Amino acid sequence: MSAFVTLNNVSKTFDVSAPWLNRVIERKPPSYLQAVSDVSFDIRKGETLALVGESGCGKSTVARLIVGLYQPTKGMITVDGKDMRLVDQTGESSQALRRKVQMIFQDPYASLNPRWRVADIVAEPIRTHKLLTDNAAIDKRVAELLGYVKLTAKDGEKFPHQFSGGQRQRISIARALASNPEFLICDEPTSALDVSVQAQVLNLMKDLQREMGLTYLFISHNLQVVHHISDRVGVMYLGRIVEIGDKKQVFGDPQHPYTRMLLDAIPDLKMTGKARTPVAGEVPNPLNPPSGCAFNPRCPKKFGPCDKDRPQLIQFKDRQVACHAAV
Amino acid sequence: MSNAPVLEVKDIHIEFPTRRGVLKAVDGVSFSIAPGEVLGVVGESGAGKSLTGAAIIGLLEPPGRVASGEILLEGKRIDNLPYEEMRKIRGRQIGAIFQDPLTSLNPLYTVGRQLTETILTHLEMSREQALERAIKLLEEVGIPAARERIEHYPHQFSGGMRQRVVIALALAAEPKVIIADEPTTALDVSIQAQIITLLKRLCRDHGTSVMLVTHDMGVIAETADRVAVMYAGRVAEIGPVSEVIHNPQHPYTMGLMGSIPEFDTHRERLIQIDGAMPRLDSIPQGCAFNPRCTQVFDRCKTERPELLVAGKTRAACWLHAK
């Protein structure tokens, strides 16, 4: 299968300099935050790629870059063969592109307009993209969409505050599906939910994927959730992908010390009383990343070249890994 | 180690009077914690686990109130103490760790000042001794260069380091019990492991009992000795951790365990509990779980089950009625 979404050496730098006057008076240099550096990957049609990593590793920035909420500083993103830079322009092809790519956000309390009825929220993409114009047809479609996410047409008359967190997240999914997208970007869709509700949402997402042939980019910090839902996994650390490959390979036989560390840090339900191997250190400041491999100050396998040369992402044992010690 | 419990909660009810009637947020919860024991309390949002913790430290926010029941600390009732006396117990005998380390520290004071203030309030010692003790505490919780960092403000610490400071604060006056309310929820998984290991080690060293409130079964699995599963303001099941996890007796616990994705047992679909926890104003008659339960029968809809012996745990479920 060919790639549906392609990222080619995508980087994003944010200008986090102090205000101009402070820079002049206090002689502060401008400072830049490299949120995403040289990220490349493909997502095939109908598969789920998950990105995992700790807070601040750039996984949400990647999501926002793909959906077009940020423009990459360097590199190119294509979805279904079309350059995502189109999204900033007007015209038919950019509209079509926007329709194809939809996003589900983390916080179901913040992502729904509290003053709108659920039916209007779900109908908004249909009206914006002029997919249907006749009101009766829109109502029918909204009812159908609410049905997909196990809500009833009557729920459309209510306001978001009348729903629980899990139901709201299902409304977000219905809204995302309203424009008949092919590609959904899910940024921590279940992090704000309780486990039993999380199970409902994950099951629903899997069912919808099978029925509609959707492609997912799934962002999460929860490795068990990622293991459950994804086909392939990319592990990010400080703006870079350190390991990416098939779920079974990456989780079953991790090659990068950081992947191994994340896996070891998961509390194990099976082994009650067993202490986890806590990892020394914390994520370094992204404004001043360590030289060489960004993981070297925390790495148990650190040796000679690690704090001098940055390891490249290379093919190794059925996956790509960026580590001097592994290869 | 004596077997008399450090902390006992007896049939506690917490209510919120509202214009539309009284809401029962916690409805008859009882448990006890032995010296040095870690009791995990799990449940979904709104199950009443945090409120129970808040009631124990006497920090229920009005209009919430303890309507009935008793809380005993080493056999003495503490739920009816006047404010000033409760103030002396809080911190000295019951420590607290909250979810968000940034809001539980005062941003305007240095970490050292907050620690010495706590120490001086509860222990008789000079300012110099208190400072030395504060530095020792920071070293104990694994803050490097504690002597310099004691001069720093909370914003100069990372999330994990801040939570270490909060733990140091909780331990400052050597309390007998610590109420830890979601202490690792705001932290990344690698930092979470550090904090849990630290909390476990310190409590073992100091012989402190812990009530660990969390929604994360994994954290409970590796930290707690016993676990209480809460649902809609009641304890659904309580027992030794390994029993509750491997051999749950209450249908809710079974569903909860099945809905956690795991690595080795790969399922195409997760077991899901349909529906959601009832709202406080519409808790069903009988067993609160009955509308979502797969094994429901007539008695569940009318009579409310008490905790019944079920294997090695106790479960509030009519399936175990003999």
pLDDT tens readout for residues A105-160? 888 888 999 999 999 999 999 999 889 889 999 999 999 999 999 898 899 999 99
Measured distance CA(A3)–CA(A80) in Å, rounded: 8
Average pLDDT of the residues in A56-77? 90
- Is the CB of B269 less than 8 angstroms away from the CB of A203? yes
Query: What is the average pLDDT value for chain A, to the nearest integer?
Result: 88
* CA neighbor of A147 nearest in space, from A218, A204, A217, A82: A204
Of the pLDDT bands very low, low, confident and very high (cuts 50, 70, 90), residue A272 is low
Q: Which residue of B has its CA nearest to A194?
A: B44
Is any Cβ of chain B less than 8 angstroms from the Cβ of A199? yes
| Domain-located, residue A37 | no
pLDDT at position A276 over 70? no
Q: Are residues A78 and A177 in the same domain?
A: yes
The residue with greater pLDDT, A254 or B276, is A254
Nearest to A199 among B188, B218, B270 (CB): B270
**CB of A11 closer than 8 Å to CB of A75:** yes
| DSSP run (H or E) holding A143 | helix A135-148
Instruction: Order across the sheet with A74-79: list the strands.
Output: A32-44, A3-15, A74-79, A82-83
- What's the pLDDT score for residue B10? 93
Structure tokens at B62: 């009005």
- Is the CB of A224 less than 8 angstroms away from the CB of B273? no
Q: Which residue of A has its CA nearest to B252?
A: A196
- Given the structure tokens 């249909």, which residue do they identify? A126
Q: Are residues A142 and A213 in the same domain?
A: yes
pLDDT at position A275 over 80? no
Q: Are residues A194 and A243 in the same domain?
A: no
Q: What is the CATH number of the domain that holds A119?
A: 3.40.50.300
- What's the pLDDT score for residue A268? 72
Contacts of residue A171, defined as CB under 8 A and 6 or more positions apart, other chains included, come to A108, A112, A118, A121, A122, A146, A149, A151, A160, A163
Q: Is the dihedral of CA A142, A148, A153, A158 positive or negative?
A: negative
Q: Are residues A182 and A255 in the same domain?
A: no
| DSSP run (H or E) holding B96 | strand B94-97
Instruction: Indicate the residue among A207, A230, A253 that finishes a domain.
Output: A230
Q: Are residues A59 and A136 in the same domain?
A: yes
B23 CB burial (10 A radius; 0-12, 13-18, 19+)? middle
- Is the CB of A167 less than 8 angstroms away from the CB of B216? no
**Which residues of chain A neighbour B191 with C-beta distances below 8 Å?**
54, 282
DSSP assignment letter at B148: H
**CB of A49 closer than 8 Å to CB of A186:** no
Instruction: Indicate the residue among A230, A257, A288 that finishes a domain.
Output: A230
**Domain range enclosing A54:** 44-230
Nearest to B263 among A196, A227, A279 (CB): A227
Nearest to A272 among B245, B256, B257 (CB): B245
Q: Is the dihedral of CA B141, B145, B151, B154 positive or negative?
A: negative
Is any Cβ of chain B less than 8 angstroms from the Cβ of A55? yes
Q: Which residue of A has its CA nearest to B38?
A: A273
- Is the CB of A268 less than 8 angstroms away from the CB of B221? yes
To the nearest whole angstrom, how far is the Cα of A81 from the nearest Cα of chain B? 31
- What's the pLDDT score for residue B39? 95
- Is the CB of A278 less than 8 angstroms away from the CB of B268? no
pLDDT at position A204 over 60? yes
Q: Is the dihedral of CA A87, A112, B258, A54 positive or negative?
A: positive
- Render A77-90 in DSSP notation, one character per residue: EEETTEEGGGGGS-
To the nearest whole angstrom, how far is the Cα of B270 from the nearest Cα of chain A? 6
- What's the pLDDT score for residue A273? 52
Q: Which residues of B lie inside 8 Å of A (Cβ-Cβ)?
A: 44-45, 158, 160-161, 188-194, 196-197, 200, 215-219, 221-222, 241-242, 245, 255-264, 266-274, 276
* CA neighbor of A194 nearest in space, from B25, B252, B122, B84: B252
| Domain-located, residue A14 | no
Give SS3 for B302.
helix
To the nearest whole angstrom, how far is the Cα of A15 from the nearest Cα of chain B? 22
> How many other β-carbons are positioned within 10 Å of the β-carbon of residue B47?
26
- What's the pLDDT score for residue B283? 87
- Is the CB of A200 less than 8 angstroms away from the CB of B260? no
Q: Number of A:B CB contacts under 8 A?
A: 125
Structure tokens at B209: 């009992």
- Is the CB of B270 less than 8 angstroms away from the CB of A282? no
Give SS3 for B297.
coil
Q: Are residues A64 and A201 in the same domain?
A: yes
Q: Which residue of B has its CA nearest to A198?
A: B259
- What's the pLDDT score for residue A327? 74
| Domain-located, residue A108 | yes
- What's the pLDDT score for residue A278? 65
Torsion of CA B136, B137, B141, B147, to 10 degrees: -50
> How many other β-carbons are positioned within 10 Å of the β-carbon of residue B284?
15
- What's the pLDDT score for residue B260? 86
Strand partners, A31: none
How many whole angstroms from its chain centre is CA B288?
22
- Is the CB of B222 less than 8 angstroms away from the CB of A272? yes
To the nearest whole angstrom, how far is the Cα of A89 from the nearest Cα of chain B? 38
pLDDT at position A218 over 90? yes
| Domain-located, residue A173 | yes
Measured distance CA(A288)–CA(B9) in Å, rounded: 50
Structure tokens at A222: 């929860």
pTM (2 d.p.): 0.84
- What's the pLDDT score for residue B91? 86
Is any Cβ of chain B less than 8 angstroms from the Cβ of A195? yes
To the nearest whole angstrom, how far is the Cα of A65 from the nearest Cα of chain B? 23
Q: Are residues A151 and A70 in the same domain?
A: yes
**CB of B239 closer than 8 Å to CB of B52:** no
Measured distance CA(B16)–CA(B246) in Å, rounded: 36
Which residues numbered 22-51 in A keep a CB inside 8 Å of some CB on B?
Answer: none
- What's the pLDDT score for residue B265? 65
**Which residues of chain B neighbour A267 with C-beta distances below 8 Å?**
192-193, 196, 216, 218-219, 221-222
Torsion of CA A230, A231, A236, A240, to 10 degrees: -140
Give SS3 for A169.
helix
- Is the CB of A55 less than 8 angstroms away from the CB of B196? no
> How many other β-carbons are positioned within 10 Å of the β-carbon of residue B254?
18
**Which residues of chain A neighbour B276 with C-beta distances below 8 Å?**
164, 166-167, 197
Q: Are residues A99 and A189 in the same domain?
A: yes
Residue type, B178: I
- Render A177-225 in DSSP notation, one character per residue: HTT--SEEEEESTTTTS-HHHHHHHHHHHHHHHHHHT-EEEEEES-HHH
Average pLDDT of the residues in A198-224? 92
* Each residue's pLDDT tens digit, A82-92: 888 877 777 77
Give SS3 for A92.
helix
Q: Are residues A110 and A226 in the same domain?
A: yes
**Which residues of chain B neighbour A264 with C-beta distances below 8 Å?**
193
The number of domains in chain A is 2
To the nearest whole angstrom, how far is the Cα of B256 from the nearest Cα of chain A? 6
| Domain-located, residue A30 | no
Measured distance CA(A96)–CA(B204) in Å, rounded: 61
| Domain-located, residue A300 | yes
Strand partners, B248: none
- Is the CB of B219 less than 8 angstroms away from the CB of A270? no
Is any Cβ of chain B less than 8 angstroms from the Cβ of A251? yes
Instruction: Indicate the residue among A201, A230, A259 that finishes a domain.
Output: A230
Q: Are residues A200 and A63 in the same domain?
A: yes
B304 CB burial (10 A radius; 0-12, 13-18, 19+)? middle
ipTM score: 0.78
Contacts of residue B203, defined as CB under 8 A and 6 or more positions apart, other chains included, come to B36, B38, B178, B209, B210
Beta strand residue intervals within chain A, DSSP E: 3-15, 32-44, 48-52, 74-79, 82-83, 101-104, 183-187, 215-220, 232-237, 240-246, 314-316, 319-321
Q: Are residues A100 and A149 in the same domain?
A: yes
- Is the CB of A276 less than 8 angstroms away from the CB of B219? no
* Each residue's pLDDT tens digit, B37-93: 999 999 888 889 989 999 999 888 888 899 999 999 998 999 888 888 998 898 889
Nearest to B44 among A196, A221, A262 (CB): A196
Nearest to B269 among A206, A227, A268 (CB): A206
Nearest to A266 among B189, B194, B242 (CB): B189
- Is the CB of A267 less than 8 angstroms away from the CB of B196? yes
* Each residue's pLDDT tens digit, B154-171: 988 888 889 999 999 998
**CB of A258 closer than 8 Å to CB of B206:** no
Sites in chain B below the pLDDT cut of 50:
1
To the nearest whole angstrom, how far is the Cα of B275 from the nearest Cα of chain A? 8
> How many other β-carbons are positioned within 10 Å of the β-carbon of residue B193?
24
| Domain-located, residue A5 | no
Q: Are residues A289 and A325 in the same domain?
A: yes
For residue A19, is the peptide bond before it cis, meaning its omega torsion is within 30 degrees of 0? no
- Is the CB of B260 less than 8 angstroms away from the CB of A195? yes
* CA neighbor of B312 nearest in space, from B237, B260, B258, B255: B237
| Domain-located, residue A38 | no
**Which residues of chain B neighbour A277 with C-beta distances below 8 Å?**
193
The residue with greater pLDDT, A281 or B302, is B302
Decide the pairing of beta strands A48-52 and A82-83. unpaired
